[in-house]
Amino acid sequence: MTAKARNYLLISIAVFFFAALLVVVCSRKKAERPEPEILSKTAEDGASAEFIKVKLFYYSELSNFLQPVYREIQVPEIREELYKKFIDLLLAGSSGLIIPVPDGVQLRSVYYLQKMEMLVLDFNDNLINAFPGGTAAELEFIYFIVDNICYNFKEIKKVKILSGGNENKTLAGHIDLEKPFFPDFNWIKSE
């Protein structure tokens, strides 16, 4: 091996170590929550409108963490409508990824309690009636909803979940649903 070749070899090793170092440092970072990107675009009616870029997170069979997907939402005049649009978009899903929500579940209404920094989501009765059971499934549903909302809308600090307009004790016999949930971003930590 010539001196030049050895030089290249060792520089390559150094670059590899640098890359490994970057991977180690980056892997320690928890999910950061950037400000949502605001875009000015043309709406369906041809007029100029404001859109925000949101990051939706879904489960997959291949990972223990929620995987990101980017979407854009036209910003309506009423704030609560934006939240409703966001949840509807979330429930629509993304190809190849898992939505931890029973079939037939729809959002009935949304209430934003500004002083409490809390979003109240009222789903239809299917949430309870069609829930498959299991602690893991309950936690998957709860943090899918709560983390997605709190990640994208920083003004919301906690989320309360209703079904059919009522408070429920649990979804399927495990997690206490009477209190609101704070996000746990460990579910969306990048792997």
Which residues are near another protein by CB under 8 A?
1, 3, 6-7, 10-11, 13-14, 17-18, 20-21, 24-25, 28, 59-61, 98-100, 132-137, 139-141, 157, 169-170, 172-176, 179-182, 186
Our CB check for another protein shows the closer of 53 and 174 to be 174
DSSP reduced 3-state for 33: coil
Note the Cα 33 to chain centre separation in Å: 11
Least gap, CB of 3 to another protein (angstroms): 7
Contact of 159 with 117, CB cutoff 8 Å = no
- Give the Cα separation of 19 and 77 in Å (integer): 46
Q: Which is nearer to another protein, 109 or 186 (CB)?
A: 186
Close Cβ partners of 93 (under 8 Å, ≥ 6 residues apart): 58, 99
* Residue 79: both structure tokens together: 């704030």
Please say which residue, 52 or 146, places its beta carbon nearer to another protein.
146
Is 99 within 8 Å of 93 (Cβ atoms)?
A: yes
Give me the least distance between CB of 175 and another protein, in Å please: 6
Least distance between another protein and beta carbon 168 (Å): 10
Residue with smaller CB distance to another protein, 27 or 42: 27
